[in-house]
Amino acid sequence: MDLAQSLGLNVFENVPLVGNVRGMIYIRTIALSDKLKTEDDKRVVLAEEIAHFQKNTGNITDLNIHIHEELIAHKAMIEQIDLFEVLDAIIENGEYANSYNTSKTLGLPEWFFKELYQFYSKLPVKPFIYRRCRVYFNPLRLEPIEEEYYEAQTPA
C-alpha cells in the first residue's frame, strides 16, 4: 500500500469484480477483488496492478496490445521476487519443500509461487552452488552437496 500511495494511486479493497479478475487499474485507481481473502493475495495482486501502472502504455483495449502489455507487467511483477529469497525458502523447508510450505515461508499465495517456480524453471542459467546446495534450472531444483565436496570448492 505504501508504494501505491507514494505513486499517487488510490486503492480500493473488496470490490466485486466480475469473473476471475483479481484486480484492475484505471488511470490512477486500483480495485482489488472481494475474492482476495488473505493479505498475501492482496499484496501480490496489488504488486501486479502497480506493475501495470509502471509498464503499460498506449491503448490497452486493443486485444493484441493488451496481451503484449499483460505479459510485460506480469514479468515485471515476478521479477520483483529475488531468486535467492526463493532458494532460501526452499532450503529452509528442507525435506518439506513443496509449493505450499515454500509459498508460506516467502509470504506469497501458493498460486503465485507456482507461477514464480515456472518462471525460474525457464531461466537459461547453468547450475551453481548456493548454501551447500547445487542449484539446477529447467526444472528448478536443489540438491544438497556432500560436506567434503563443499569444503574442497570453497576458497580458504
* Residue ranges of domains in the chain: 2-79, 83-153
pTM, whole model, 2 decimals?
0.59
Q: Please state the rounded mean pLDDT for residues 60-89.
A: 63
Give yes or no for residue 19 having a pLDDT over 70: yes
Listing DSSP states for 117-148 in one string gives HHHHHT-----EEETTEEEETTTTEEEE--HH
Among 79-83, 90-94, 144-148, the range with the most confident prediction by mean pLDDT is 90-94
pLDDT of residue 154: 56
Share of the chain above pLDDT 70, in %: 74
Residue 26, SS3?
Answer: strand
CA pair distance 65, 83, nearest whole angstrom: 29
pLDDT of residue 31: 94
